[in-house]
Chains A and B, each alone.
Chain A
Amino acid sequence: MNVRLILVLMVWPFAAIAQGFAGLGQGAEGFATPRPGVALEFPADHGAHPSYRIEWWYLTANLKGEDGRSYGVQWTLFRSALAPETREGWADPQIWMGHAGLTTPERHFVAERLARGGIGQAGVTAVPFGAWIDGWRMQGRAAEGRDELSALSLTAQGTDFAYDLDLTAEGPLVAHGQSGYSTKSESGQASYYYSQPFYRVAGTLDLPEGPIAVTGRAWLDREWSSQPLDAEQKGWDWVSLHFESGEKLMGFQLRSTDGAYTSGTWIGADGRAEPFEDGVLTMTPLGRARVAGRDLPVRWRLELPAKGLDVEIDALNAQSWMETRFAYWEGPVRITGSHRGEGYLEMTGYE
């Protein structure tokens, strides 16, 4: 999912400017680069890969409340390394960033955390699985002998919201690209990328008006790499969609000055992955909304002829703006058309 790769690569300089420092995460040499033909290894690859520059644990959930309303939740832990190593204490060059979002039809809540590695404030362990920053946790609670990510508890708190969710996977891990080696552009940038898109969710959202019990589904993305993007690439539009048929779709387009580069993976109800190349997926913006002072396409037409897919996706809340150090749009969408369902949309680079 190269969109997030771009996100993080761009986030750090932006975050750095917001903080008053330029050049964070840039210029450090000696990072490992993804190579094809290297098999993913679990549970070790659930943990951190400090020799790669960037990495994330990215979870989005489409939820339905006991009140019948729809909600969306995002929980993300980013890792960005100043140097390809770990050290004890403050000298550790690993830096962590957490983003949490909670979307209701009317409101969108955001929280952000930054932490240094090496002191225990943030980090990830593979066995038993645990990813945390401050009080936010994605904690593995898998049964003996099951994959570490097969069951999770998830919690995050902002100044005006919190959530506490239990997740149980009802399908296998899905590797994108060539067995997890996901090519990112024509010039060869790549990342390691796999997902667990089959979570069933139950839990509680804490909103200013009170707690709400929710159920729904969630999608976890794991990706790490070291390579930056091309200079011409202006932004991206990315979706992760759950269809009522049980099938799923991860797709994105990278917008550059000379057109868009699209890619993605069709996931069967049994978890079988069918990655597709550039040009197979067509994404067409339909309706725009004024969000945070800019025009964003919050309604899209998606066409994937090979799968008979021709759907419209529409934001649950057009104002799902992540007002973080590097701001972007991320929120739940409804799907209508040839397939029905729900999912998540992410958009960056609209000025």
Chain B
Amino acid sequence: MYRTALSALLSHWRRHPMQLGSLLLGLALATALWSGVQAINAEARASYDRAAGVLAQDRLEQLVPTDGQRFSQEVYVALRRAGWDISPVLEGRWSRAGRSVRILGIEPLSLPAGAAPQPVAAGGDMAAFLSQPGQGFAAPQTVAALDGADGLPPLTAAPDMVPGMVLVDIGIAQGLLRAEGEVSRLLVAPAQPVGRTPLGEVAPGLSLRAPQAEADVANLTGSFHLNLTAFGFLSFAVGLFIVHSAIGLAFEQRRPMFRTLRALGLPLGALVAILAAEVLILALAAGLVGIGLGYGIAAALLPDVAATLRGLYGAALPGSLSLRPEWWLGGLGIAMLGAGVAAAQSLWRLWHLPLLAPAQPRAWARASARALARQGALAGGLAVVAVLAGLFGQGVAGGFVLLGALLLSAALALPGVLALILGAAERASRGALAQWFWADTRQQLPGLSLALMALLLALAANVGVGTMVASFRLTFTGWLDQRLSSEFYVTARNEAEAGRLHDWLEPRSDALLPIWKIEGPVRGRTAEVYGVADHPTYSENWPILTGTPDLWQSLARGEGAIVNEQLWRREGLRLGDSLTLPGGAERALVGVYSDYGNPRGQVIIGVEDLTALYPEVERLRYAIRIDPEKVPDLRRALVDEFGLPADNMIDQASVKRFSLQVFERTFAVTAALNVLTMGVAGFAMFTSLLTLATMRLPQLAPVWALGLTRGRLARLELVRALLLAALTMVLALPVGLVLAWALLSVVNVAAFGWRLPMHVFPADWLWLGALALAAAGLAAAWPALRLARMPPLRLLKVFADER
């Protein structure tokens, strides 16, 4: 009995392979995008966790300086002698001749148990590690990248090290970082001796910090991953629309079969159970395919994501993807859940289906005014949430609440708004055919509304993200022009060469501007401190956002400092505030400049001020002002006459090209996901129309019988789809613009630390509108063609059948 029932139910799929295909494909696509994004996130998270797990600082408390500056190791010794079981850490960035790496200096003897980094715990020569010239551990790719670098201790590859970091003894680190006798922070062992002197009495400048579950970089990149997740979820939601319509259709079409099976004695519970099992099996199959596709998507996108994360945040990601259960199990789970949600409504209806109810498949019943009103109220409520989040929301989370509520609200409001428009059009129209067209379109709304909502979401996301990216690009290129005003940049290989280079270049250029910097903690986080020369290049071009009128003079006098927008926003600084530089010197804040593409804080002071404060600063880089036409000659002369390697110089155009390349890669992922989302939405539309086309025959047959040709009807169907898509596009536009605003003014500020002016690009909308129409047209073409070629017999049968 059950076997018979099962084979009867499954025979449906044999006869409708297209339906089966769309169901599986929809679910697989939805799962693919979701699990692909999750795979990328999981990979990144694992990499951050590893970074956080270095020195077990995710488990250990730390003593950190309250002023954010490095402090004397005497403080460490004093604390040890006062009974504190602590271990010193010194970290900073080492760079020379264009190569740069993070140095992590540890003291292996005092490291708390289990805090020793893997390569140290794994073995090695302790004496070599402790004694000059020391020994460095680094990830294999970092060792390769630093191959031949002067001044570093011999490096040993350690696969478990975080890329971009070299682990050395603290004494070696002090030499490399020119921080003799200095310490960044202290790790606190979990079990402390009894009778310690209180911290405040020994080291009043330090405070105890709780274990950090996440590395700084995880905080920095959190918004980026949230971004990806949001996109993944959007795609999944869109995919669910497809699944919902496919399952709905399959249930509707099998109603006569259900009735027959029930009449033959199959218990209702058994029928529901068989159908539920069918959905689960389909979901499992589709989910597995989806995970496979997701892996492909993730593997294809990962290099771009890695490039973005490195470019924007300095976070290093491995180039390869591993199959982590956290995302593939999650992907499978969400596929099942999605299919379950999509099938729940149909199963519920089946459960309540009276045995003798007419088996006539009805196109989804026209949603009652009440249902529409309820949906409208929900949309209104969400809109209020969105407004509240926009007004009072904090940080990235607030931004995403705003985005989520906005998009959902818009999607939910769509059917109601479309119904109003179509109702108005119906009232305004003249002639029976026109009135029938509007009324019939409105009648179809409930069936199409899910697909249209999906389309709205995809279009709005496209408009929003597109506007953000384009605004960013416009601002970024303008900013590059300001920032890279010098024509040529050179880097000497060592201090002696730098001196000769300076003397050699002086007579051959209009101006020689030092680009010298140190790195150190400013307000508790690592920042770069640059020194600039007193030259019109800066006062005329530098992208100042706000500042005192005499800020460049103030810098030249060594009295003031300007900071980048990120630092300014993050610390809530105001002009005139006092800023503590690494080493303890204080400068008044006299200006703020924009600094896109840089996750870290940056401070600029006068170059004389820089060399006075930090006499050990590396003086290797110069920007050269020169007639652009003389650049090729200068380059040749530098190579041939001076003997500087070509790698050590770069012209303005190359820097710009490189910067834009980084920028494009940054948004390549976004663009790819955008296209995929549009694809999914188009597919949703297609399956919905296909579903409707089969069910609408009873409604079309009378119109056909009244004399409208099949071709005419098909054309009307096509026009209808295009019309609905166009209306949806028009409605998506404002939603997308609000989305863009939220991304630029809320999410970006929280995520990156800079605020961008919003530019609108109507030409892009036209293009997107055309794309939406094309998608709708393509989706409608096949059902319309089938209608045009439908044998008249089938239309006649509508009247002949006993329904």
Pull 14 A–B residue pairs with CB atoms less than 8 Å apart, ordered by A: A19-B120, A20-B122, A20-B126, A21-B120, A22-B125, A23-B126, A116-B107, A116-B130, A119-B76, A121-B81, A134-B81, A135-B80, A157-B194, A206-B195
Please pick, from B80, B83, B131, the residue contacting A93 in the complex, using a CB distance under 8 A. Answer: B131
Please tell me if the beta carbons of B171 and A91 are within 8 angstroms of each other in the complex: yes
Interface residues of A in 16-33 (CB under 8 A from B): 16, 19-28
Q: Is A228 an interface residue (CB 8 A)?
A: no
The smallest C-beta distance from A90 to any residue of chain B, in angstroms, reads 3
Please tell me if the beta carbons of B126 and A19 are within 8 angstroms of each other in the complex: yes
Please tell me if the beta carbons of A89 and B171 are within 8 angstroms of each other in the complex: yes
> Which of A26, A83, A135, A160 has most B Cβ within 10 Å?
A135
Q: Which residue of B lies closest to A13 (CB)?
A: B126
Q: Complex: how many Å from CA A89 to CA B183?
A: 13
Q: Is B77 an interface residue (CB 8 A)?
A: yes
Please tell me if the beta carbons of A134 and B171 are within 8 angstroms of each other in the complex: no
A1-43 Cβ-contact flags toward B at 8 Å (1 or 0): 0000000000000001001111111111000000000000000
Please tell me if the beta carbons of A160 and B194 are within 8 angstroms of each other in the complex: yes
Please pick, from B85, B107, B132, the residue contacting A91 in the complex, using a CB distance under 8 A. Answer: B132
The smallest C-beta distance from B551 to any residue of chain A, in angstroms, reads 41
Please tell me if the beta carbons of A134 and B180 are within 8 angstroms of each other in the complex: no
- Interface-located stretch among B108-116, B222-230, B242-250, B258-266: B108-116
Knowing A90-B171, A161-B194, the reply to whether A21 touches B77 (Cβ < 8 A) is: no
Q: Which residues of A contact B (CB under 8 A)?
A: 16, 19-28, 82-83, 89-91, 93, 95, 111, 114-116, 119-121, 132, 134-135, 157-162, 206
Q: Is B21 an interface residue (CB 8 A)?
A: no
Given A20-B124, A21-B126, A24-B126, 13 new contacts (CB under 8 A): A19-B126, A89-B174, A89-B181, A90-B170, A90-B171, A114-B109, A115-B80, A115-B109, A119-B77, A120-B77, A135-B83, A157-B193, A158-B193
Please tell me if the beta carbons of B192 and A159 are within 8 angstroms of each other in the complex: yes
Q: Is B488 an interface residue (CB 8 A)?
A: no
Q: Is B17 an interface residue (CB 8 A)?
A: no
Please pick, from A16, A111, A120, A162, the residue contacting B126 in the complex, using a CB distance under 8 A. Answer: A16
Q: Complex: how many Å from CA A25 to CA B107?
A: 17
B52-83 Cβ-contact flags toward A at 8 Å (1 or 0): 00000000000000000000011011001111
Residues on A with beta carbons closer than 8 Å to the beta carbon of B76: 119, 121
Residues on A with beta carbons closer than 8 Å to the beta carbon of B127: 21, 23-28, 82
The smallest C-beta distance from B82 to any residue of chain A, in angstroms, reads 6
Q: Which residue of B lies closest to A164 (CB)?
A: B195
Please tell me if the beta carbons of A115 and B120 are within 8 angstroms of each other in the complex: no
Please pick, from B109, B125, B174, B195, the residue contacting A157 in the complex, using a CB distance under 8 A. Answer: B195
Q: Is B1 an interface residue (CB 8 A)?
A: no
Please tell me if the beta carbons of B109 and A19 are within 8 angstroms of each other in the complex: yes
Q: Is B191 an interface residue (CB 8 A)?
A: yes
Residues on B with beta carbons closer than 8 Å to the beta carbon of A90: 107, 130, 169-172, 174
Residues on B with beta carbons closer than 8 Å to the beta carbon of A82: 127, 130-131
Q: Which residues of B contact A (CB under 8 A)?
A: 73-74, 76-77, 80-83, 85, 107-111, 116, 120-127, 129-132, 169-172, 174, 180-181, 191-196
Q: Complex: how many Å from CA A132 to CA B81?
A: 9
Q: Complex: how many Å from CA A206 to CA B126?
A: 36
Q: Which residue of B lies closest to A95 (CB)?
A: B109
Residues on B with beta carbons closer than 8 Å to the beta carbon of A134: 80-81, 83, 85
Please tell me if the beta carbons of A22 and B77 are within 8 angstroms of each other in the complex: no
Please tell me if the beta carbons of A21 and B124 are within 8 angstroms of each other in the complex: yes
Please pick, from B80, B130, B171, B193, the residue contacting A111 in the complex, using a CB distance under 8 A. Answer: B193
Please tell me if the beta carbons of B125 and A23 are within 8 angstroms of each other in the complex: yes
Residues on B with beta carbons closer than 8 Å to the beta carbon of A28: 127
Q: Which residue of B lies closest to A92 (CB)?
A: B171
Please tell me if the beta carbons of B108 and A19 are within 8 angstroms of each other in the complex: yes
Please tell me if the beta carbons of A22 and B126 are within 8 angstroms of each other in the complex: yes
Please tell me if the beta carbons of A83 and B193 are within 8 angstroms of each other in the complex: no
The smallest C-beta distance from B755 to any residue of chain A, in angstroms, reads 45
Knowing A28-B127, A161-B194, the reply to whether A114 touches B77 (Cβ < 8 A) is: no
The smallest C-beta distance from A81 to any residue of chain B, in angstroms, reads 10
Q: Which residue of A lies closest to B127 (CB)?
A: A82
Q: Complex: how many Å from CA A24 to CA B108?
A: 12
The smallest C-beta distance from B485 to any residue of chain A, in angstroms, reads 44
Please tell me if the beta carbons of B109 and A135 are within 8 angstroms of each other in the complex: no
Q: Which residue of A lies closest to B83 (CB)?
A: A135
Please tell me if the beta carbons of B109 and A116 are within 8 angstroms of each other in the complex: yes
Q: Complex: how many Å from CA A156 to CA B680?
A: 70
Please pick, from B82, B120, B130, the residue contacting A135 in the complex, using a CB distance under 8 A. Answer: B82
Residues on B with beta carbons closer than 8 Å to the beta carbon of A91: 131-132, 171
Please tell me if the beta carbons of A159 and B126 are within 8 angstroms of each other in the complex: no
Q: Complex: how many Å from CA A245 to CA B76?
A: 48
Please tell me if the beta carbons of B171 and A162 are within 8 angstroms of each other in the complex: no
Q: Complex: how many Å from CA A24 to CA B123?
A: 11
Residues on A with beta carbons closer than 8 Å to the beta carbon of B126: 16, 19-24
Q: Which residue of B lies closest to A25 (CB)?
A: B127
Residues on B with beta carbons closer than 8 Å to the beta carbon of A162: 193-195
The smallest C-beta distance from B659 to any residue of chain A, in angstroms, reads 40
Q: Complex: how many Å from CA A134 to CA B202?
A: 13
The smallest C-beta distance from A265 to any residue of chain B, in angstroms, reads 34
Report the 7 A-B pairs with minimum CB-CB distance, sorted nearest first.
A90-B171, A21-B126, A114-B109, A135-B83, A20-B121, A157-B193, A24-B126
Q: Which residue of A lies closest to B170 (CB)?
A: A90
Residues on A with beta carbons closer than 8 Å to the beta carbon of B169: 90
Residues on A with beta carbons closer than 8 Å to the beta carbon of B80: 115, 121, 134-135
Q: Complex: how many Å from CA A116 to CA B88?
A: 12
Q: Complex: how many Å from CA A159 to CA B80?
A: 14
Q: Complex: how many Å from CA A119 to CA B500?
A: 39
Please tell me if the beta carbons of A115 and B110 are within 8 angstroms of each other in the complex: yes
